[in-house]
Chain A
Amino acid sequence: MLSASSFLVSAAVLGGVGTFFASVIALARKKLYVWEDPRIDAVANLLPGNNCGACGLAGCRAFAERLVEGAIQPANCTVASPDMREDIAGYLGVDVGAATTRVARLLCAGGCDVAPNNADYLGLQTCRAAAAVAGGGKACAWGCLGLADCRDVCDFDAIYMNEVDLPVVIPEKCTACGDCVEACPKDLFTLMPVEQKLIVQCKNLLEGDEATTACAVACNACGRCVADGAPGLIEIVHGLAVIDYDKNATASPDAITRCPTGAIVWVDGAQQLGPERLEKVLEGAGR
């Protein structure tokens, strides 16, 4: 049976309960208050907000916290444009700092024009899935499968697939976040400082004709680059030329001049992975 009094009683009970909890919350807010530097929020708003993790921290807010502490410098964020870094440095009154610009480099030049397939792969069209089936069927077991897992994972549209199914990194857009490094089942991407211009674009461990049968632009471990480069700069390790980047200062384009396959290259800007990379191979065929 409803009556006016039952309304009043429930309103009073609920009101009482509400007031009680409201006061508890108000008290808790006072007692448990944690002061946080307001600059963290401000700096976080100035950062790109991609949460890409390229700085090595958990995200942009974690980066902002470390910035305000003074533990790192604005330049450590590789995604932010120079203007954004200046803004942050100006706001905090610190130096922008210098950080090495790094970009993702593809250590394979074996596109579909030079690297034949042993078998046709017809399954699920992702590199990960293809690599799980006989390594993807490419004659070179180390080579790029060209199914674009890296392009799909890139948050910055810094990778496009060229006419021979190789992913090309646009250095201006690449933030060295490392997503492509993780996505590639063949481990072909590596993050390199842009000053490292001498690059072996190959991971094939076979030697001689075995290597060049699998891919015309493979490193066949002939050792010419070792002789032509600065002493100790390049070494043939297990059938592959390996550059010691601790000695990068001594690197020069001399090392690539006699490479018969064009596996070792001098990169300024973007990697040349289109048909133009075949000059060396054609030259060799004409000789």
Chain B
Amino acid sequence: MFDRLTFRHGVHPPELKQLTAHLKIRRLPYPKEVVLPLSQHTGKPAKPIVRVSDRVERGDLIAEADGWVSSPIHASASGTITELGLSPHPDGTFKPALYIAVEPYSAQLPRPRLVPDWRGLDRDGLLHAVQHAGVVGLGGAAFPTHVKLKPPPDKPIEMILVNGCECEPYLTTDHRTMVEYPNRIHLGVRIMMKILGVSKVVIGVERNKPDAVEALERTRPADLDVTVLPLTVKYPQGAEKMLIEAVTGREVPSGKLPLDVGLVVQNAASVGTIAEVFETGLPLVERIVTVTGLGIRKPANLIVPVGTKLRDLLDACGGMTDDAREIVFGGPMMGAAQANLDTPLTKGTTGVIVLAERECKTQDSYPCIRCGHCLDACPVFLNPQQLGKLAAAGRYDEMAAAYHLNDCMLCGCCSYVCPSNIPLSQQFAAARVALRQRKPAA
């Protein structure tokens, strides 16, 4: 049988993971203050349930979920609530957030379990525990995990796909999780299988992480049908629709979700977190973050309390070099550039990349020469050239109606290959925002 093992189109950016791929995960010392935005996940922001000057322990619920597609927020360090105010948000706006003045050392105190042991729970109990532990997807979009784990009854799920691709250059968060905590991945898989009632699991890992494949193979539980599948290295294989195509050959139809083709996709770090909350008994209060780039003095893979401010994180990594030029949350292809050092890290921050002058290229853009490279790169088979022309003319409605703008996942492949340096995916991002803002008025 011919194994496809990758998807069509896509690009091969330099991997640049060598800065942190070999570094063991360390724990970041607690900062003096943590800032927890109420909106750290896809869906409605959480509702605060604490007041200023309240004392909270690490793991305490401080904001509860507002509805089903929402997620609660827990104190990531013990201390005192000092303010419910506005804080810079990774998306570039200011959003409501809870400020906690952290008590030194107190966060290390042991405390009774907040999340029950998974062994004694049935499906609903497990799902309830995952929901109330504030677990969201840690791959970037921070979609509440419990929503993914409860598909509508008319959509049977036949397989769980664990996404260990980490196709973005620089990032090694999932990689190190798989190498150092392979048992956690397998426990997370076991819990997900129990919740979904699924018997088949495939863990897709790109071939550039042989140590992760080896670690997962070595610890693979004998009683479960888990396959570790090495995939050809290509960007954006970590996009769930691309991964599905690579592993199963199925195509998720436009506007549909993976569960429409019988699959649930979870990123490796998220699977690890599902296991972690049951293992430690603490809700999601910390995550693993890659701090990398030539602009940071000591690149590292760190366990960081959610809500740590960017400034504190950079200081803990030796500070920025003199030629540091740009800070990006997430990967360099899809990540969000940051303008404010007081921005807190949220549950969805996979990495912090500090790019030095020599890693950044600012070039003028030139008119489109219709070479078609962008069409060959687009993993969802759109026509970025035509979309770019319409975006420049401000014809956003036409982009959505006739050229499937909403299927674009802003992976940046088109911008990456464009010989004229046209910032295509940025134009599409702007067009999408414009359309979204216009909708309520109409």
Contacts and interface: CB of A to CB of B under 8 A. Distances in A.
A83 to B, nearest CB: 33
A118 B340 contact: yes
B92 A134 contact: yes
B429 interface: yes
A124 B94 contact: no
B430 interface: yes
B92 A131 contact: yes
Interface string A79-110: 00000000000000000000000000000000
B303 interface: no
A159 B345 CA distance: 40
Interface stretch (B10-18, B38-46, B331-339): B331-339
B199 interface: no
Interface residues of B, number: 26
Contacts of B371: none
Contact of A132 (B339, B362, B433, B438): B433
A139 B91 CA distance: 14
A185 B305 CA distance: 33
A196 B90 CA distance: 37
A99 to B, nearest CB: 22
Interface string B409-426: 000000000000001001
Contact of B438 (A122, A124, A137, A182): A182
Contacts of A137: 339
A205 B86 contact: yes
B344 to A, nearest CB: 14
Contact of A141 (B92, B365, B394): B92
Interface string B62-103: 000000000000000000000000101001111000000000
Nearest to B438: A182
B427 interface: yes
B434 interface: yes
Nearest to A140: B94
Given A119-B340, A134-B337, A134-B338, 10 more contacts: A119-B337, A122-B362, A123-B423, A128-B431, A132-B429, A134-B92, A134-B336, A136-B92, A141-B92, A182-B441
20 contacts: A117-B339, A118-B339, A119-B326, A119-B338, A122-B362, A123-B423, A124-B365, A124-B430, A126-B430, A129-B426, A131-B92, A131-B433, A132-B426, A133-B92, A135-B91, A137-B339, A141-B94, A185-B430, A187-B437, A206-B94
Interface of B: 86, 88, 91-94, 326, 336-340, 362, 365, 394, 423, 426-427, 429-431, 433-434, 437-438, 441
